[in-house]
């Protein structure tokens, strides 16, 4: 891939990176606003913000702000002695505990009715913000346990970015990689369930062989990632910075 095409990829990556940072900031604002509004719904403060909020109420507030849809608790297999499966707070308490956002108060208990102190609230929020901003590592196409390349596609090599993808905590799938070696209009690899768009998407990308050409990456509802280069039978493609939201 020529130097000019590489420069185009760098500019695209920088622009998309700035846009991603803005999305993260917006996500944090929405999250903190959700916590604030939920805490206010529990009743009026007495001596300060959220005074009188219990541990179970704080857990519900954080869970709803993170848009968590936790599984139901299993009777007889509860995580905490004092949080029965019949409690409406139980699913949120157990899910946030599994995610490391909250924990028990000792002796196998959670102390759901205990008031949240200022320092406990700080820990709740810091860990929840970490949950918003942290993302999984890239899934590298063609490695063990990951989707294989298809139709002769493979990494461009030569130190260029390898094909991969990951989904951040805002539900946005990010693509990367410089691929080559196959026919235009064919599927390079297939994204697994959970990484597929609700409807087919077509995104412009950097392409070329001897020089840059117009190209696009189509992501279908079944996860197929198809590459097309204008006027070429075969081409190389750069996907760094491409991203889309999934349901």
pLDDT digits (tens, 9 = 90+) for 2-45: 434 434 433 443 344 444 444 444 454 554 555 444 444 444 44
Return phi, psi of residue 236, to 5°.
-110, 150
Same domain, 192 and 95: no
Same domain, 140 and 231: yes
**pTM (2 d.p.):** 0.51
What does the alpha-carbon distance between residue 86 and residue 44 come to, in Å, rounded to a whole number? 27
pLDDT digits (tens, 9 = 90+) for 160-206: 999 999 988 778 899 999 999 877 889 999 999 999 999 999 999 88
Asked if residue 200 belongs to a domain, the reply is yes
Q: What is the dihedral of CA 174, 171, 134, 243, to 10 degrees?
A: 20
Asked if residue 26 belongs to a domain, the reply is no
> What share of the chain has pLDDT > 70, as a percent?
74
Which of the pair, 48 or 138, is modelled with greater confidence? Answer: 138
Asked if residue 18 belongs to a domain, the reply is no
Q: Considering 115, 133, 151, which residue would you say is the last residue of a domain?
A: 133
Asked if residue 173 belongs to a domain, the reply is yes
Q: What domain range is 161 assigned to?
A: 136-245
For residue 129, the model assigns a pLDDT of: 67
Asked if residue 30 belongs to a domain, the reply is no
Same domain, 148 and 104: no
Asked if residue 13 belongs to a domain, the reply is no
Average pLDDT, the chain: 78
């Amino acid at each position: 891939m020529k130097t000019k095409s590489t420069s185009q990829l760098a500019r695209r990556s920088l622009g998309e990176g700035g846009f991603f940072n803005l999305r993260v900031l917006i996500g944090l604002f929405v999250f903190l606003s959700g916590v604030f509004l939920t805490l206010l719904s529990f009743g009026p403060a007495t001596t300060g913000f959220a005074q009188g909020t219990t541990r179970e109420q704080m857990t519900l507030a954080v869970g709803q702000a993170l848009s968590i849809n936790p599984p139901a608790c299993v009777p007889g297999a509860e995580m905490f002695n004092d949080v029965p499966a019949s409690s409406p707070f139980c699913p949120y308490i157990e899910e946030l505990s599994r995610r490391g956002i909250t924990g028990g108060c000792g002796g196998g208990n959670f102390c759901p009715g205990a008031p949240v102190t200022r320092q406990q609230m700080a820990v709740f929020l810091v860990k929840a913000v970490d949950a918003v901003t942290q993302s999984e590592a890239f899934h590298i196409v063609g490695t063990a346990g990951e989707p294989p390349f298809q139709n002769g596609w493979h990494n461009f090599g030569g130190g260029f970015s390898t094909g991969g993808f990951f989904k951040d905590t805002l539900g946005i799938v990010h693509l990367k990689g410089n691929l080559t070696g196959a026919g235009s209009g064919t599927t390079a690899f297939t994204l697994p369930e959970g990484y597929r768009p609700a409807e087919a998407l077509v995104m412009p990308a950097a392409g070329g062989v001897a020089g840059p050409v117009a190209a696009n990456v189509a992501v279908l509802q079944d996860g197929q990632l198809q590459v097309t280069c204008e006027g070429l039978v075969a081409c190389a493609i750069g996907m760094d910075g491409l991203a889309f939201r999934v349901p």
